[in-house]
Amino acid sequence: MQPILSVHNLNKYYGNQVGCKNMNLTLYPGEVVGVVGESGSGKTTFINSISGNLIPDSGKILIETGNETIDFLEISESLKRLLIRTELAFVHQNPRDGLRLDVSAGGNISERLMSIGQRNYGNIRQTIFKWLDKVEIDKSRVDDFPRTFSGGMLQRLQIAKNLVTSPKIIFMDEPTGGLDVSVQAKILDLLRKLVRELNLSVVIVSHDLAVIRLLADKIIVMKNGEAVESGLCDQVLDDPQHSYTQLLVSSVLQV
Amino acid sequence: MIELNKITKKFTLHNQGKTNILVFNNLNLKINPGEIVALTGPSGVGKSSILKMIYGNYVFQSGQIKINNHNIDHKYPRNIIELRKNIIGYVSQFLRVIPRVPTIEIVMEPLLEINSDQNEVREKAEKILLKLNIHKNLWNLSPLTFSGGEQQRVNVARGLIRNYPCLLLDEPTASLDSVNKDIVLNLINEKKDKGSSIIGIFHDEYSRKYLKAREIDITKISDAK
């Protein structure tokens, strides 16, 4: 099996300031990679740099589409935009960043569908209902504006909006941050199910080690813009080798 | 077949004065197909650590671990993920699950990795839950609110629903009453008869004798301590 996404020696600086440095990642189909570290460690810079939100200074990003390998940093802007609308998806920490608040819930979900050329109203409506059902939002809310939704519902709507075109690679930046724990459990359960059902490949950023432990197969631990340790998720969390990872793991409060 | 050759394992606690703890030195162990090995020795001697090294959960500093001739190598996490999907099953002491997920789905999960027929998998999960005396009323509930013994049996069901060539058992009968203990032990014996290489920790002599396990005192097979 070939990795669907591989990142080699990626660097991103803000002036003299390190955003992230010397980052590598291999993501196989159906795999979830977690990126952890304290705030300011470069997690978000990294995920933004590999998903097309930021332009890294150097490095290589290869995406395997099944037919060909795409050099993500070398392709034309239009092809990149197409990829971002079809094969890639980005779930923001704050769903308000990923949704259009003055467009109905159904309109939000259909946006990606229409952008890849679907025009049949009946079919689109059908797909919208299917996805509302998957993310457990009542069908009757389809024409309501997202601003009338709760935080947890907004996050689930954002997930539906992103997954509707069956993207192969999903990037998530703290998808359960800011949600209360019962809503968080619901979203985690949903994400796990979708990963299995749709064989999704996911890069997920979180500072919550418990979230990463439940979702991720592999993990990258970042500090000061660099990866200090990476590997199998439960191995790194149960038998951390680097002093910073040991500190991080031992700082988690036990419930 | 599970083989450990000349394993050295130590923990270095960087934030606690760089303390080094040598757990194993020159540890050798082999578990054949159709065999049950029971690890014994006082608590803290590293019984669980051995299981965790085999499962790829703990790293080791030198030596070799082979599972059906595949190396456990932490430089290649993908390989370990594949081994866990296909070859190694692990029944841990504690259940770790996402809140809200129903018991039946937790038990079905490992089998769904290799069989996408939902109905068939559900049937098998129901069968093993019934066998382990988990009442039907509980199947659609999350096991987080179950009693210790019930949680453990859910864990066992999840671990034994498949026929893994290699099986690691960390006190699978610890909090069970005698009736349920025998049921679990019989299930383990079935796996042995099917040719699994099984290594486990069983705190009571009764279980070890019942399984006719080959007992290995860890203090005698490692040079550490």
Q: pLDDT tens across B188-197, in order? A: 999 999 999 9
Asked if residue A122 belongs to a domain, the reply is yes
C-alpha closest to that of B37 among B204, B152, B208: B208
pLDDT at A130: 93
Distances in whole angstroms, Cα of residue A136 to Cα of each of A111, A113, A133: 20, 20, 5
C-alpha closest to that of B141 among B132, B131, B129: B129
Alpha helices in chain A (DSSP H): 43-51, 77-86, 95-98, 105-115, 121-134, 151-163, 181-198, 209-215, 233-238, 243-250
Residues of A within 8 A of B98 (CB-CB) are: 185, 188-189, 192, 214
Tell me if B128 sits within 8 A of B109, measured CB to CB. Answer: no
Instruction: Give me the sign of the Cα torsion angle A91, A95, A99, A105.
Output: positive
pLDDT at A65: 85
Residues 6+ apart with CB under 8 A from B188: B36, B160, B167, B169, B172, B198, B200, B211
Tell me if A127 sits within 8 A of A166, measured CB to CB. Answer: no
Burial tier of B68 (Cβ tally within 10 Å: 0-12, 13-18, 19+): middle
Residue A178 has pLDDT above 80, yes or no: no
Asked if residue A104 belongs to a domain, the reply is yes
Asked if residue A246 belongs to a domain, the reply is yes
Closest in B52, B78, B98 to A188, CB measured: B98
The angle formed by the CA atoms of residues A198, A196 and A2, to the nearest 5 degrees, is 75
pLDDT at A255: 59
CATH number for the domain harbouring residue A195: 3.40.50.300
Q: Which of A24, A136, A189 has the most B C-beta neighbours within 10 Å, making it the best mutation to test the interface with B?
A: A189
Residue A254 has pLDDT above 70, yes or no: no
Give the total number of structural domains in chain A.
1
Ranges under pLDDT 70 in chain B: 225
Asked if residue A146 belongs to a domain, the reply is yes
pLDDT at B36: 97
Q: Do B101 and A189 touch (CB under 8 A)?
A: yes
Nearest CA in chain B to A250: B15
Q: Which of B61, B98, B168 has the most A C-beta neighbours within 10 Å, making it the best mutation to test the interface with A?
A: B98
Q: Does B15 contact A at CB distance below 8 Å?
A: yes
pLDDT tens digits, residue range A117-151? 889 999 999 999 999 998 889 999 999 999 999 98
d(CA B107, CA A96): 37
Asked if residue A59 belongs to a domain, the reply is no
Asked if residue A245 belongs to a domain, the reply is yes
**Residue A187 banded pLDDT, cuts 50, 70, 90:** confident
Q: With a CB-CB cutoff of 8 Å, which residues 111-170 of chain B face chain A?
A: 112
Any idea how long chain A is?
255
**Residue A182 banded pLDDT, cuts 50, 70, 90:** confident
Q: Which of B10, B11, B12, B14 has the most A C-beta neighbours within 10 Å, making it the best mutation to test the interface with A?
A: B14
d(CA A114, CA A106): 12
**Residue A191 banded pLDDT, cuts 50, 70, 90:** confident
pLDDT tens digits, residue range B142-183? 998 899 899 999 999 999 999 999 999 999 998 899 999 999
Asked if residue A71 belongs to a domain, the reply is no
Closest in A28, A238, A250 to B58, CB measured: A238
Per-residue DSSP letter, A254: P
Tell me if B19 sits within 8 A of B13, measured CB to CB. Answer: yes
> How many CB atoms sit inside 10 A of residue B91's CB?
23
d(CA A26, CA B76): 11
Residues of A within 8 A of B94 (CB-CB) are: none
pLDDT at B151: 92
Per-residue DSSP letter, A146: G
d(CA A66, CA A61): 16
d(CA B102, CA B76): 33
Instruction: Give the HSE-up count for residue B182: Cα atoms under 13 Å, Cβ half-sphere.
Output: 2
Tokens of A173: 């930046």
> How many CB atoms sit inside 10 A of residue B56's CB?
25
Nearest CA in chain B to A232: B77
Alpha helices in B115-216 (DSSP H): 118-131, 148-160, 178-193, 205-210
Tell me if A215 sits within 8 A of A192, measured CB to CB. Answer: yes
pLDDT at A209: 92
Domain carrying residue A103 = 27-54+84-250
Residue A183 has pLDDT above 90, yes or no: no
The per-residue DSSP string of B12-49 comes to: EETTTTTEEEEEEEEEEEEE-TTEEEEEESSTTSSHHH
Instruction: Give me the sign of the Cα torsion angle A241, A243, A244, A249.
Output: positive
Q: Do B98 and A247 touch (CB under 8 A)?
A: no
Residues of B within 8 A of A231 (CB-CB) are: 74, 77
Asked if residue A167 belongs to a domain, the reply is yes
Distance from CA of A52 to the nearest CA of B (A): 26
